[in-house]
Amino acid sequence: MRRTGPPAAPNPDPLHHGDADPEPLDEGWVYAPPTGPLVIVHADRDLVVIHKPSGLLSAPGRGPDQADSALLRVQARWPTAEPVHRLDLDTSGLLVFALRGKATRALMAQLRDRRVEKRYLAWVAGAPGAEAGEIDLPLRRLVGQPRSVVDPAGRPSRTRWQVVERRGESTLLALEPLTGRSHQLRLHLRSIGHPILGDRFYAPPEVILAADRLLLHAVELRLLHPWSGAPLSLQAAPGPGFGPR
């Protein structure tokens, strides 16, 4: 999906850009990250891009029991790695780390100025009545809680969507966030009556149980290389089991 129309307002907090949640915890929640080697999508002297699995924190959480994260696993191999954005704990897909200070600044500036194109895939409940559309609903983060709500006084938030596949009572959508608010994709889709399968924060119980995990995946990134300025297009297909039960 190619972006058209006027650019969205710059995001003042690029580290939390996109569907990102630095505090994804409910009371009683136990962190049990997946094991296995890092899946490296791209690596050079300036940046590393991995395929983050669902269930792994992007960066360390609160306390030693939440230390294991994509950041620490990357730093075990590239000690200078720094995060330039985050993905939700339950979201899988492309995650970028910078290896030098200049690269960090350049990549975060691209995120802040909305020059990075992101594309996600999500299985949702129900069948949208159209083949494509745009959601324009302002969002507000709840104080002291890892959730957001639709609020007319919230921050402007826009998401484009397009049907990829229809399967029974579920639909696979391609998503393009035009702004980067916490839980934007998850809340926008719930707000139009199509919550993401497996979404433990926003979906009703039957939709949570329709999948083994949150079926949201960061499938594509397009950015400019922080050193050469050349366009860099990155893809990571969802792993096995990315679909309804």
Question: Which residue's structure tokens are 């199509």?
Answer: 194
Dist CA 162 CA 157 (whole Å): 17
Of 19, 21, 68, 88, catalytic: 88
Whether the Cβ atoms of residue 177 and residue 155 lie closer than 8 Å to each other: no
Q: How many other CB atoms are found less than 10 A from the CB of residue 207?
A: 22
Positive or negative, the CA dihedral 237, 194, 183, 107 is: positive
Whether the Cβ atoms of residue 92 and residue 56 lie closer than 8 Å to each other: no
Dist CA 188 CA 175 (whole Å): 11
CA dihedral 194, 198, 200, 205 (to 10 degrees): 70
88 catalytic, yes or no?
yes
Whether the Cβ atoms of residue 56 and residue 69 lie closer than 8 Å to each other: yes
Where in the sequence numbering do the catalytic residues fall? 88
